[in-house]
């Protein structure tokens, strides 16, 4: 059985010491969706939400979320991201918003949590921006789709 890295010999949670690890290029991509009723989708698409431009505000929120991941998730290391992008695309077939976040850095630990946090915060912001029109939106399918670099190697999860 694999040893759990965030548990010490006494079974208590602790932050992993990554000091001895080499700096390497690391990247991650995460995705998720916000599913909504057609009427809500139409308001978002037309830019007619009372709070303003849903997609732009959610994009900025996702970027900020990635940068604050270690403040939100207790055992995550604070990272110096070299790149974070959050893309929100309207999807008429869902109907709703598809969210993709990618994060990169050169460092000792991966950026999966930053990409996942970016998607999560962007999705929550879409919900917040559109909740006046609909409170039954679904935030769904938040997942890691790609990870590159580090000891565990590359993962593609499409």
Domain assignments of the chain as residue spans, ordered by start: 34-148
Question: Mind telling me the catalytic residues?
Answer: 128
| CATH of region 34-148 | 3.30.70.640
pLDDT by residue for the chain (158 residues), tens only, comes to: 555 566 667 766 656 656 556 778 999 999 999 999 999 999 999 999 999 999 999 999 999 999 999 999 988 888 999 999 999 999 999 999 999 999 999 987 889 999 999 999 999 999 999 999 999 999 999 999 999 988 778 889 87
Residue 99's nearest CA partner among 51, 131, 75, 63 is 63
Report how far residue 144's alpha carbon sits from residue 81's, in angstroms, rounded to the nearest whole number.
Answer: 17
- What is the reported pTM? 0.89
């Amino acid at each position: 059985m694999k040893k759990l890295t965030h548990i010490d010999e006494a079974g208590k949670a602790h932050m992993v010491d990554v000091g001895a690890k080499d700096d390497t290029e690391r990247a991650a991509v995460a995705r998720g969706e916000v599913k909504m009723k057609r009427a809500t989708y139409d308001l978002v698409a037309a830019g007619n939400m009372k709070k303003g431009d849903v997609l732009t505000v959610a994009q900025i929120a996702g970027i900020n979320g990635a940068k604050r991941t270690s403040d939100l998730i207790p055992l995550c290391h604070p990272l110096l991201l070299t790149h974070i992008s959050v893309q929100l695309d309207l999807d008429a077939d869902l109907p709703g918003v598809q969210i993709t976040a990618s994060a990169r850095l050169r460092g000792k630990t991966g950026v999966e949590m930053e990409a996942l946090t970016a998607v999560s915060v962007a999705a929550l912001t879409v919900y917040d921006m559109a909740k006046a029109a609909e409170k039954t939106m679904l935030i769904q399918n938040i997942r890691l789709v790609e990870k590159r670099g580090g000891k565990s190697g590359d993962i593609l999860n499409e």
